[in-house]
Protein backbone atom coordinates (compact mmCIF):
# COMPACT_ATOMS: atom_id res chain seq x y z
CA UNK A 1 0.00 0.00 0.00
CA UNK A 2 1.14 3.52 -0.87
CA UNK A 3 1.17 5.58 2.34
CA UNK A 4 2.46 9.15 2.61
CA UNK A 5 3.46 10.65 5.97
CA UNK A 6 3.38 14.43 5.72
CA UNK A 7 6.80 15.81 6.54
CA UNK A 8 6.92 19.05 8.46
CA UNK A 9 8.77 20.71 11.31
CA UNK A 10 7.46 18.37 13.99
CA UNK A 11 9.27 15.93 16.26
CA UNK A 12 9.41 12.17 16.10
CA UNK A 13 7.62 11.62 12.79
CA UNK A 14 9.74 8.54 12.28
CA UNK A 15 7.98 6.60 15.02
CA UNK A 16 4.84 6.53 12.85
CA UNK A 17 6.93 5.16 10.00
CA UNK A 18 8.34 2.47 12.34
CA UNK A 19 4.83 1.50 13.47
CA UNK A 20 3.70 1.08 9.85
CA UNK A 21 6.79 -1.04 9.12
CA UNK A 22 5.79 -3.32 12.00
CA UNK A 23 2.49 -3.76 10.12
CA UNK A 24 4.39 -4.60 6.95
CA UNK A 25 3.81 -1.25 5.21
CA UNK A 26 6.59 0.92 3.91
CA UNK A 27 5.58 4.60 3.98
CA UNK A 28 7.15 7.65 2.39
CA UNK A 29 7.84 10.73 4.54
CA UNK A 30 7.30 13.61 2.13
CA UNK A 31 6.16 17.22 1.68
CA UNK A 32 5.85 16.84 -2.11
CA UNK A 33 2.23 17.83 -2.97
CA UNK A 34 2.03 15.41 -5.91
CA UNK A 35 3.21 12.45 -3.84
CA UNK A 36 0.79 13.30 -1.05
CA UNK A 37 -2.16 13.67 -3.45
CA UNK A 38 -1.34 10.39 -5.17
CA UNK A 39 -0.97 8.29 -1.99
CA UNK A 40 -3.70 5.78 -1.05
CA UNK A 41 -3.43 6.81 2.62
CA UNK A 42 -2.09 10.01 4.16
CA UNK A 43 -0.91 10.37 7.74
CA UNK A 44 -0.57 13.82 9.28
CA UNK A 45 1.43 13.22 12.46
CA UNK A 46 2.61 15.69 14.97
CA UNK A 47 4.41 16.51 18.11
CA UNK A 48 4.94 20.20 18.44
CA UNK A 49 3.28 23.54 18.83
CA UNK A 50 0.39 25.04 16.85
CA UNK A 51 1.65 28.52 15.86
CA UNK A 52 4.93 27.61 14.18
CA UNK A 53 3.49 24.44 12.67
CA UNK A 54 0.54 26.25 11.04
CA UNK A 55 2.93 28.93 9.76
CA UNK A 56 5.12 26.22 8.23
CA UNK A 57 2.13 24.48 6.61
CA UNK A 58 0.72 27.75 5.20
CA UNK A 59 4.06 28.79 3.76
CA UNK A 60 4.08 25.58 1.70
CA UNK A 61 0.29 25.64 1.13
CA UNK A 62 0.10 22.22 2.78
CA UNK A 63 -2.92 23.45 4.79
CA UNK A 64 -5.05 23.77 1.63
CA UNK A 65 -3.62 20.55 0.24
CA UNK A 66 -4.62 18.57 3.36
CA UNK A 67 -8.15 20.05 3.43
CA UNK A 68 -8.65 19.03 -0.21
CA UNK A 69 -7.54 15.39 0.10
CA UNK A 70 -10.14 12.75 -0.81
CA UNK A 71 -8.38 9.52 0.27
CA UNK A 72 -8.44 8.41 3.95
CA UNK A 73 -6.35 10.85 6.02
CA UNK A 74 -5.27 10.23 9.63
CA UNK A 75 -4.18 13.12 11.85
CA UNK A 76 -2.30 12.24 15.02
CA UNK A 77 -2.01 14.34 18.23
CA UNK A 78 -1.16 17.88 17.06
CA UNK A 79 -2.39 16.64 13.66
CA UNK A 80 -5.90 16.21 15.07
CA UNK A 81 -5.80 19.65 16.68
CA UNK A 82 -4.62 21.37 13.49
CA UNK A 83 -7.46 19.73 11.53
CA UNK A 84 -9.88 21.74 13.71
CA UNK A 85 -11.07 25.34 13.21
CA UNK A 86 -9.03 27.24 15.73
CA UNK A 87 -6.61 26.58 18.60
CA UNK A 88 -6.33 28.42 21.88
CA UNK A 89 -2.60 27.65 21.66
CA UNK A 90 -1.32 31.03 20.46
CA UNK A 91 -4.85 31.97 19.20
CA UNK A 92 -4.13 30.09 15.96
CA UNK A 93 -6.45 29.70 13.01
CA UNK A 94 -6.17 26.07 11.83
CA UNK A 95 -7.08 23.97 8.77
CA UNK A 96 -10.81 23.78 9.57
CA UNK A 97 -11.78 20.24 8.55
CA UNK A 98 -13.52 19.69 11.88
CA UNK A 99 -15.63 22.71 12.84
CA UNK A 100 -14.41 22.56 16.43
CA UNK A 101 -12.19 24.60 18.75
CA UNK A 102 -9.02 23.35 20.46
CA UNK A 103 -8.88 24.40 24.09
CA UNK A 104 -6.28 24.37 26.84
CA UNK A 105 -6.95 22.13 29.84
CA UNK A 106 -8.11 24.39 32.70
CA UNK A 107 -6.07 24.64 35.90
CA UNK A 108 -6.94 21.61 37.99
CA UNK A 109 -5.55 19.32 40.66
CA UNK A 110 -4.92 16.77 37.90
CA UNK A 111 -1.63 17.38 36.16
CA UNK A 112 -1.13 18.98 32.77
CA UNK A 113 0.15 17.79 30.32
CA UNK A 114 -2.19 14.80 30.29
CA UNK A 115 0.63 12.28 29.96
CA UNK A 116 0.34 8.53 29.97
CA UNK A 117 -2.16 5.75 29.34
CA UNK A 118 -5.86 6.46 29.50
CA UNK A 119 -8.93 4.53 28.37
CA UNK A 120 -11.29 4.93 25.40
CA UNK A 121 -15.06 5.29 25.71
CA UNK A 122 -18.07 6.00 23.44
CA UNK A 123 -16.55 4.47 20.30
CA UNK A 124 -17.83 4.86 16.76
CA UNK A 125 -16.60 4.46 13.19
CA UNK A 126 -14.44 1.90 11.37
CA UNK A 127 -11.25 2.51 13.36
CA UNK A 128 -12.91 1.78 16.71
CA UNK A 129 -14.78 -1.53 16.91
CA UNK A 130 -16.53 -2.25 20.22
CA UNK A 131 -13.73 -4.69 21.11
CA UNK A 132 -11.54 -1.64 21.79
CA UNK A 133 -13.92 -0.21 24.39
CA UNK A 134 -11.93 0.51 27.56
CA UNK A 135 -8.58 -0.03 25.83
CA UNK A 136 -5.70 2.06 27.13
CA UNK A 137 -3.81 4.26 24.68
CA UNK A 138 -0.93 6.71 25.14
CA UNK A 139 -1.58 10.45 25.38
CA UNK A 140 0.73 13.46 25.70
CA UNK A 141 -1.05 16.82 25.35
CA UNK A 142 -1.99 20.06 27.08
CA UNK A 143 -4.73 21.10 24.62
CA UNK A 144 -7.86 19.16 23.70
CA UNK A 145 -10.88 19.10 21.39
CA UNK A 146 -14.13 18.94 23.42
CA UNK A 147 -16.46 15.98 22.92
CA UNK A 148 -18.59 16.82 19.85
CA UNK A 149 -20.57 15.33 16.94
CA UNK A 150 -17.28 14.43 15.19
CA UNK A 151 -15.93 12.44 18.18
CA UNK A 152 -15.11 8.83 17.29
CA UNK A 153 -13.80 8.01 20.78
CA UNK A 154 -13.97 9.91 24.05
CA UNK A 155 -11.52 10.03 26.94
CA UNK A 156 -12.15 11.66 30.29
CA UNK A 157 -9.39 13.75 31.86
CA UNK A 158 -10.44 16.91 33.72
CA UNK A 159 -13.18 17.11 31.04
CA UNK A 160 -14.54 14.59 28.51
CA UNK A 161 -12.64 15.25 25.27
CA UNK A 162 -12.30 13.85 21.74
CA UNK A 163 -9.74 11.05 21.94
CA UNK A 164 -10.47 10.45 18.25
CA UNK A 165 -12.55 12.14 15.54
CA UNK A 166 -13.97 11.35 12.13
CA UNK A 167 -15.70 13.31 9.40
CA UNK A 168 -15.98 11.71 5.95
CA UNK A 169 -12.52 10.60 4.81
CA UNK A 170 -10.80 12.49 7.65
CA UNK A 171 -9.80 10.53 10.75
CA UNK A 172 -7.84 11.78 13.74
CA UNK A 173 -6.56 10.66 17.13
CA UNK A 174 -5.43 12.80 20.05
CA UNK A 175 -3.42 9.84 21.36
CA UNK A 176 -0.40 8.25 19.69
CA UNK A 177 -1.45 4.95 18.09
CA UNK A 178 2.20 4.38 17.11
CA UNK A 179 3.10 4.28 20.83
CA UNK A 180 -0.05 2.58 22.14
CA UNK A 181 0.99 -1.07 22.14
CA UNK A 182 -1.47 -3.64 20.76
CA UNK A 183 -4.59 -1.41 20.62
CA UNK A 184 -2.61 1.27 18.79
CA UNK A 185 -1.42 -1.24 16.20
CA UNK A 186 -4.99 -2.43 15.71
CA UNK A 187 -6.25 1.13 15.13
CA UNK A 188 -3.50 1.82 12.58
CA UNK A 189 -4.22 -1.49 10.90
CA UNK A 190 -7.94 -0.58 10.73
CA UNK A 191 -7.00 2.70 9.05
CA UNK A 192 -4.93 0.86 6.44
CA UNK A 193 -7.79 -1.59 5.82
CA UNK A 194 -10.42 1.13 5.13
Partner 1 sequence: MLAKRIIPCLDIRNGMTVKGINFENVVDVGDPVELGAKYAQEGADELVYLDITATHEGRKLFADLVGRIAEHLNIPFTVGGGINHVSDAGILLSAGADKVSINSSAVRDPDLLDRIAGGFGNQFVVVAIDAQFKDEKWTVFVNGGRIPTDKELFSWAHEAQERGAGEILFTSMNHDGTKDGYACEALKTLSEKLSIPVIASGGAGKEDHFVEVFQEGKADAALAASIFHYNEIPIPELKSYLKQNHINIR
**Residue numbers annotated as active site:** 77, 176, 178
Stretch that binds partner 1, among 44-52, 63-71, 86-94, 161-169 (CB under 8 A): 44-52
Q: Which of 40, 60, 156, 193 forms a contact with partner 1 (CB under 8 A)?
A: 156
Could you give the count of Cα atoms lying within 13 Å of 3 in the half-sphere of its Cβ? 24
Binding map of partner 1 across residues 96-135, x = CB under 8 A, - = no contact: --------------xxxxxxxxxx----------------
CA distance 60 to 68: 14
- Nearest CA among 172, 162, 157, 150 for reference residue 44: 172
In angstroms, give the least distance from the CB of 117 to partner 1. 4
CB neighbours of 137 closer than 8 A, spacing ≥ 6? 117, 118, 119, 120, 163, 173, 175, 176, 177, 180, 183, 184, 187
Nearest Cα neighbor of 80 from 156, 130, 152 is 152
Give the footprint of partner 1 on residues 13-32 (CB under 8 A).
14-15, 18-19, 21-22
Residues that bind partner 1 (CB under 8 A): 11-12, 14-15, 18-19, 21-22, 47-49, 110-119, 136, 138, 140, 156-157, 176, 178-182, 184-185
Amino acid sequence: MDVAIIKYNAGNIRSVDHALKRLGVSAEITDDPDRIKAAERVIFPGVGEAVSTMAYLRERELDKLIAGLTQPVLGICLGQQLMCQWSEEGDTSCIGIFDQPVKQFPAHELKVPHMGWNSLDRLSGELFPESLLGSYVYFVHSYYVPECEDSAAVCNYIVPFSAAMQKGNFYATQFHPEKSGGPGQEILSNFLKL
